[in-house]
């Protein structure tokens, strides 16, 4: 049986999604729980390998089980083993060709910035800027990211192809929290954090939009700023 589940998790409690030896990761907790339910080893595939400190409200994970168990039964059993740092929101039995990563059509990420007074209570869940940010300047940077670009200066690690499509970037205020919402086909390692990082640098007046244009157009390696992981959320995956 092939399953696709939707999960939420508190990234501050994990060393990222991907299994890393004995360190606590989302993949390890899920695989250990599913192997216990299945009574045999289970390997899971995530739609996105979120980094240490990155949160999720709508991460998708696929896996195969040997046992016959209902969707609701599997949801209850999993949640009894993975709460409180992970919560299974939905379980669906799907056809064998569905893969959490390779079947993705669209991803949504949200980056949260506290523009108000510093709060230690939310420090693991938002980026709290030491500087006053010009949100209108940040929107100018966002407009440069839209469409198809070679994002090699915004991605960590080596890839054969750095081309990606950013469909939309929306700015929404919720009290003092600025939510920057990204929607696109693919987001590579550190990409959203680097995109936001340059928004922050321009918003605080340290860099200009001309540097962002150069980073998008130049084949040379140009260093930017990486926003902290704590403000980033994998919000939704569409198939």
Beta bridge mates, 12: none
pLDDT at residue 118, rounded to an integer = 97
Residues across the chain: 239
CA angle 78, 234, 93 (to 5 degrees): 40
- Per-residue tokens: 49: 């390998």
pLDDT at residue 224, rounded to an integer = 94
Q: What average pLDDT does the structure give for the chain?
A: 95
Asked if residues 229 and 125 have their Cβ atoms less than 8 Å apart, the reply is: no
pLDDT at residue 151, rounded to an integer = 96
**Helical (H) or strand (E) element with 237:** strand 232-238
- The torsion angles phi and psi of 161, rounded to 5 degrees, stand at -140, 125
pLDDT at residue 98, rounded to an integer = 86
Q: Cα separation of 4 and 81, whole Å? A: 18
Q: Which of 10, 32, 51, 66 does the annotation list as catalytic?
A: 51
pLDDT in tens, the chain (239 residues): 999 999 999 999 999 999 987 899 999 999 999 999 999 999 999 998 999 999 999 999 999 999 989 999 999 999 999 999 999 999 999 998 888 888 889 999 999 999 999 999 999 999 999 899 999 999 999 999 999 999 999 999 888 899 999 999 999 999 999 999 999 988 999 999 999 999 999 999 999 999 999 999 988 899 999 999 999 999 999 99
What domains are defined for the chain? 2-94 (3.30.70.580), 106-238 (3.30.70.660)
**Helical (H) or strand (E) element with 94:** strand 86-94
Q: Cα separation of 12 and 156, whole Å? A: 21
Q: List alpha helices for the chain, DSSP H.
A: 26-38, 71-82, 135-145, 191-203, 209-217
- pLDDT per residue over 95-152, tens digit each? 988 888 888 899 999 999 999 999 999 999 999 998 999 999 999 999 999 999 999 9
Stated pTM of the model: 0.94
The yes-or-no answer on residue 124 being catalytic is: no
**Neighbouring C-beta atoms of residue 222, cutoff 10 Å:** 15
Cis peptide before 84 (omega within 30 of 0): yes
pLDDT at residue 158, rounded to an integer = 87
């Amino acid at each position: 049986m092939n399953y696709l589940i939707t999960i939420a998790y508190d990234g501050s409690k994990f060393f990222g999604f991907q299994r890393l030896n004995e360190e606590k990761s989302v993949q390890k907790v899920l695989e250990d729980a599913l192997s216990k339910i299945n009574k045999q080893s289970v390997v899971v595939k995530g739609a996105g390998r979120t980094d240490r400190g990155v949160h999720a409200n709508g991460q998708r994970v696929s896996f195969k089980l040997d046992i016959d168990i209902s969707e609701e039964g599997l949801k209850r059993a999993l949640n009894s083993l993975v709460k409180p740092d992970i919560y299974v929101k939905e379980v669906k039995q799907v056809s064998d060709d569905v893969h959490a990563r390779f079947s993705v059509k669209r991803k949504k990420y949200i980056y949260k910035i506290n523009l108000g007074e510093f709060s230690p209570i939310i420090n693991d869940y938002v980026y709290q800027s030491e500087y006053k940010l010009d949100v209108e300047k940040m929107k100018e940077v966002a407009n440069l990211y839209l469409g198809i670009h070679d994002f090699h200066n915004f991605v960590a690690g080596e890839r054969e192809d750095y081309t990606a499509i950013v469909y939309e970037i929306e700015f929404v205020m919720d009290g003092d929290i600025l939510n920057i919402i990204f929607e696109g086909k693919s987001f590579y390692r550190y990409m959203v954090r680097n995109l936001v990082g340059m928004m922050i640098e321009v918003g605080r007046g340290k860099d200009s939009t001309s540097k962002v244009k150069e980073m998008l157009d130049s084949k040379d390696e140009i260093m930017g700023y990486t926003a902290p992981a704590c403000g980033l959320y994998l919000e939704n995956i569409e198939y």
